[in-house]
A = this chain, B = another copy of it.
């Protein structure tokens, strides 16, 4: 493997000195890019794109050719795991993911079998290997997985949900069964992330997209507990290099203290959470990633640059900040606005990294 040329992202996550704040963007490989839409059309379906390592590699690298991002993120979907567990994933245009065989009965949970990442999810590992190779060490590659709780919501609801009535019904009425499901998913997620690390991922992120729909008590018991389980099972040293880990619970701003104690190197912040207070609350324990409102990217480039400056200033001096949006970029965004954000981060961040 070639050595890493731009390691700013890794260094910031580990709070080692950097000369500027690194930046990447959730869903940076995606529909807002015309070159992505072309490959997506060529692939025929979203799942065809995910399962084809060459195409997944191509779209992963696309945003790096346009913007000065400091990291690449594997192009994939968080639902590859339940699909590999046999739930039958499909994506319908405009309707989001659907499982043809969602979890309905207790037996569906008892009978779940953890997929072997290098066989049932080999297409993901092949994509990781291919991307690492084609990156030629430009920037690090981030691997990822959905969190056990977030995967469970889709598996029980059969797709997206507004009220989460089914999965919360299971949680409230049959908590033991819910724990059985989350236990299985924790082992599976950890194996999946370990395989990505073995294949070449240089950092990993756990997306807990739906942790924020739980009460404080339930978040601790059903989401964070299993994020910690996953973390404890990860192999985070490869060739004497540390693989940094990031936990992102959307809507988790209230719970940063307990998240910071879960073993991850960094926490993702949504845009509602003030990064200045977040750093005061937990910044001595973890790095922070975020957190511009994705909708702010609709504004004109001057406003975008101003928003960037505000967030950089709110975080303040020193390493430990990775700039990002507070959630994924919106699919109808103008790519020029992304450029305005990325360039503003690089232009305005060096003053926060001057050595004493």
> Using a CB–CB distance below 8 Å, which chain A residues touch chain B?
163-165, 168-169, 172-173, 212-219, 251, 253-254, 271-274, 277, 293-296, 298-300, 303, 307, 310, 326, 330
Contacts and interface: CB of A to CB of B under 8 A. Distances in A.
Given A163-B295, A253-B254, A298-B168, A216 B272 contact: yes
26 contacts: A163-B295, A164-B295, A168-B293, A168-B296, A168-B298, A169-B295, A169-B299, A172-B296, A172-B299, A172-B307, A173-B299, A173-B300, A173-B303, A212-B272, A213-B272, A214-B272, A215-B274, A215-B293, A216-B273, A216-B274, A218-B293, A251-B251, A251-B272, A254-B254, A254-B273, A254-B274
A172 B303 contact: yes
Contacts of A253: 253-254
Copies in the complex: 2
A291 to B, nearest CB: 8
A198 B254 CA distance: 39
A273 B215 CA distance: 7
A77 B298 CA distance: 31
Nearest to A314: B217
Given A163-B330, A172-B296, A216-B273, 7 more contacts: A168-B296, A169-B298, A212-B272, A216-B274, A219-B272, A251-B272, A254-B254
A91 to B, nearest CB: 18
B165 A274 contact: no
- The secondary structure that dominates the A interface is helix
A215 B163 CA distance: 23
A305 B215 CA distance: 16
A35 B303 CA distance: 52
A334 to B, nearest CB: 12
Nearest to A330: B163
A295 B215 CA distance: 11
Contacts of A326: 215
Contacts of A300: 173
A75 to B, nearest CB: 22
Contacts of A218: 293
Given A163-B295, A251-B272, A216 B168 contact: no
A268 to B, nearest CB: 15
A226 to B, nearest CB: 18
B277 A165 contact: no
Contact of A272 (B215, B294, B299): B215
Contacts of A173: 299-300, 303
A274 B217 contact: yes
